[in-house]
Structures are given as structure tokens and as C-alpha cells.
Copies of this chain bind each other. A is one copy, B any other.
Amino acid sequence: MTFNTEQAPGVEGKVPQQTRGFVFNHTMLRVVDPSKSLAFYSKVFGMRLLRTSENPDAEFTLYFLATTEGEDVPADQDARAKYVGRRQGVLELTHNWGTENDPDASYHDGNSEPQGFGHICFTVPDLKAACDWMDENDVTFKKRPEDGRMNHIAFVKDPDGYWIELVEHSG
């Protein structure tokens, strides 16, 4: 690991003032069955569902989740909207209605061809304890810490097969 970030190619040295207030808010993944995905992310990863957005005309629903430990999440609707919009680290799950009843419905994880998106990552205080918790919840591993050379990371799969990296906070 290096921190010679000034020497990386192409990097703008100064944050342009036109980007003031820009927030990397969320990452969107499509999911086949929201009940499975919501159960998974809220239980196994301790994320809190902060907002839903149902769009009957186009027949899809959006679910916004985040890890919110130690944060004061507003209950009031307007305050909640502002909180969700201004924060980082939101996971948006898109459910196109009906896929949960279609045995052929599936999504592409981005790691087999054609490649693109790779994974999302949760940092954890203790990798061993986190892996035990995954096992307790029958989560599928793509890579256990002891597999391969990189013993400080693990990969598990979410209900749609998207890869989730696990690494200790300072790993």
C-alpha cells in the first residue's frame, strides 16, 4: 500500500470550487427478490432501511439502506430526506416488480464476462468474527480468508450473487 497519491496520473491537485457540496451518495444494484435482499442486508450487515420509493407507473421500487451506527437518524419525513440525501455510503436496491416470481430472473455480478462493476466492501472490526457471523447466517463464501494469498480479506455473495468484500478497518 502506498500513499504517493500526488504522483498518480491525471489527478487534479485542487478540488474545484464548482464541486462544492458534491456528495458520493449511493451505489445502485438491481435485486431479484427484495424480501431476500432486505433480510440479508439488514440482518447480516446491520444496515438500516432509511427510505423506500415506489413507482407504480414504471413498476419498480427503490430501497435505500446504510450502516448508521452511532448516528442520529431523523424520524421526521423532511429531515429524513435531507439526511439520506446528504450522507455518503447509501446502498440503493432496485426491484423491478415481478422478478421475484420469475424462476429465470437473475442479475449479472460484473465479475464474469462481461466484466465491469466488481464488488461492494464492508470493513469490520474483526475479520474472523465477521466470517463466523457469515457462517451462522449460511452466507455463501466466494473466498475465505485462508483461500489464496490474500489472507486479510474475504468475499461473500449476497442473495443475487453480487460480491461483498470483508476486510478489517485498517486492512
Contacts and interface: CB of A to CB of B under 8 A. Distances in A.
Given A25-B123, A52-B4, A94-B118, A46 B67 contact: no
A131 to B, nearest CB: 11
A53 interface: yes
B120 A30 contact: no
Nearest to A91: B24
A36 interface: yes
A98 interface: no
Interface residues of A, number: 89
B2 A53 contact: yes
Contacts of A42: 10-12, 15
Q: Looking at chain A's contact residues, is the secondary structure mostly helix, strand, loop, or mixed?
A: mixed
Contact of A117 (B24, B117, B169): B117
B125 A28 contact: no
Contacts of A26: 120-121
A43 B116 contact: no
Interface string A129-171: 1100100100000000000000000000000101001011111
17 contacts: A1-B51, A1-B81, A2-B51, A5-B52, A8-B63, A11-B38, A19-B46, A24-B66, A24-B67, A24-B120, A24-B121, A28-B118, A85-B171, A92-B118, A110-B110, A117-B117, A117-B162
